[in-house]
């Protein structure tokens, strides 16, 4: 196994030292595995895709706009509803 050195913010370091019973290297290793596996899946999907980068960006913008619209409507319903309706 290869060793790796990581730089972490001071606040994170303080928390980690406070919880020295946790195997932080194992937490980091698992998080990196999860991220690496997601990258592999994404690379497989992209390698089979016929979309251009521009088309993919356009689809992404449509998805973002749709999500924004949906969440905006929900937040208006929640924050503007009568108190007894919540």
Residue 39 DSSP code? H
Residue 61 DSSP code? H
**Model pLDDT for residues 9-66, shown as the tens digit of each residue:** 999 999 999 999 999 999 999 999 999 999 999 999 888 888 888 998 999 999 999 9
Cα–Cα distance between 86 and 77 in angstroms, integer? 9
Whole-structure pTM value:
0.56
pLDDT of residue 74: 76
Rounded mean pLDDT of 70-75? 81
Where residue 71 falls among pLDDT bands split at 50, 70, 90?
Answer: confident
pLDDT of residue 29: 96
Looking at the predicted structure, is the pLDDT value of residue 84 above 60? no
pLDDT of residue 73: 79
Beta strands (DSSP E) in the chain are none
Cα–Cα distance between 65 and 70 in angstroms, integer? 9
């Amino acid at each position: 196994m290869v060793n790796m050195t990581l730089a972490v913010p001071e606040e994170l370091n303080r928390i980690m030292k406070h919880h020295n019973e946790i195997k932080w290297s194992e937490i980091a290793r698992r998080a990196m595995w999860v991220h690496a596996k997601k990258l592999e899946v994404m690379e497989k999907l992209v390698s089979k895709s016929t979309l251009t980068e521009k088309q993919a960006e356009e689809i992404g913008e449509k998805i973002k706009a749709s999500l924004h619209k949906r969440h905006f409507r929900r937040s208006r319903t929640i924050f503007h509803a009568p108190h007894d309706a919540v």
